[in-house]
Amino acid sequence: ILGVNGSGDWIPAAAGTAVQPKRWAIEREYMGGDYNTAYATGDAVKVATTPPGVRINALIANTVNVAKGGLLEVGATAGTLRPVTTGVPVAVSLEALNNTSGANARLRVEIV
């Protein structure tokens, strides 16, 4: 999920922040990438604005466990979501995830 810095550039939103409208960096298929291809600093970012009810494939940080139906907020790791602890929900999980893989993982979520 994206925020904007003082220069007007897209940046990963800070952990726990309320982001309105909800904007997401989306895959770079036009550059031969997929949803696992990271943007580099200075890249033009392809952005989607998602109203409530839209389902996306979100990034969940390593070591985070998510329950099906659990509310999710902006995570502490850039571009990720985590179960709500201190912030404002941005999505609800459509499946459970026990992410002990050693890397970030994908999870189907619905925007709230």
pLDDT digits (tens, 9 = 90+) for 66-111: 999 999 988 877 778 889 988 789 899 999 999 887 788 889 999 9
Give the total residue count for the chain. 112
Tell me what pLDDT residue 72 has.
93
Write the pLDDT tens digit of every residue in 11-67.
Answer: 777 776 766 678 777 766 656 565 666 666 777 777 778 889 999 888 888 888 999
* Helix, strand, or coil (residue 57): strand
Residues contacting 7, CB < 8 A, separation 6+: none
Q: Which residues pair with 73 in a beta bridge?
A: 82
Q: Hey, what are 87's tokens?
A: 């912030």
* Residue indicated by tokens 């726990």: 16
